[in-house]
Amino acid sequence: MVRLKNLNEIEKMKAAGRIVALTLSAIEKAVRPGVNTWELDQIAEQVIRSHGATPSFLNYGSPPFPASICASLNDEVVHGIPSKSRILKQGDIISIDVGACLDGFHGDAARTFAVGEISEENKDLIRVTEECFWKGLEQAKAGNRIGDISAAIQNHAEAHGLGVVKQLVGHGIGEHLHEDPDVPNFGREGHGPRIFEGLVIAVEPMINAGSASVRMLADHWTIATSDGRNSAHYENTFAITSNGPEITTIIDERGTSD
């Protein structure tokens, strides 16, 4: 069941989202060759807890997720588990997914970062994946349907010859990390649940350089591309307001929410 949020709840989600944005900013500064993904996880946990929040992902699900962030390298789409043995190398790309819970409400966002100088193909993959989010956001207004967001994402990715992951979707968010409705990155305009003011969702294009097909790895969390080609991920949480969508997980250069 979809539960719309009131203005007070949206303000709480802005506070949680700001912590997510600050965490991603701190991690971006630390991403470089030679750093391991466990170190990035430690940075994230310190930032989240220093602001009075708790990591949304830590011990989430079954089996319990063992870290505060998802750190997914190259052909890993999502849910990569941080480890001291996963050392970043020049030319890698890494997607970092962060969730934080503050005052009972969650924020959730992801970015894909370059490790040093990367290939033009990887630059294009990261750029188009982010563009997919913004194309979807243009359709996120009261009166439209979820399928309008989904179709905009799919159309932009496929126009660039990229694969749209279909087994994983965006989601509603609030007092629970994952709530209704599902927000696929593929779909048909004019279909799906209606978008109303007060809806808060996390939209997260997961786009592959090659085939859309994915597979689960042996750790029962990490999902990777089936063809071994790279994948990128870009996500923000936003609320539908009377003035249109308001993103809660982006900060400006002063460190304040937009």
- Report d(CA 165, CA 225) in Å as an integer: 9
**What residues have CB less than 8 Å from 61, skipping those under 6 apart?**
none
At residue 256, the pLDDT reads: 40
The residue whose two tokens read 């989010």 is 133
What predicted TM-score, i.e. pTM, was given to this entire model?
Answer: 0.96
At residue 254, the pLDDT reads: 35
At residue 251, the pLDDT reads: 85
Strand 200-203 relative to strand 170-172, pairing: antiparallel
119 C-beta neighbours (distance < 10 Å), count: 12
256 within domain boundaries: no
Structural domain boundaries enclosing 94: 7-247
At residue 3, the pLDDT reads: 97
At residue 258, the pLDDT reads: 44
Judge whether 60 and 105 are in contact, CB under 8 Å. no
Output the six-digit token pair for 246: 């308001």
Q: What phi and psi values does residue 34 have, to the nearest 5 degrees? A: 100, -15
254 within domain boundaries: no
Output the six-digit token pair for 67: 């870290």
Q: What angle separates helix 146-159 from helix 120-138, to the nearest 10 degrees?
A: 160
Whichever domain contains 170, its CATH number is 3.90.230.10
229 within domain boundaries: yes
Profile the chain (258 residues) by mean pLDDT over runs of 10 residues: 97 98 98 98 98 98 97 98 98 98 98 98 98 98 98 98 98 98 98 98 98 97 98 98 96 50
Total domains, the chain? 1
Output the six-digit token pair for 149: 């967001």
At residue 95, the pLDDT reads: 98
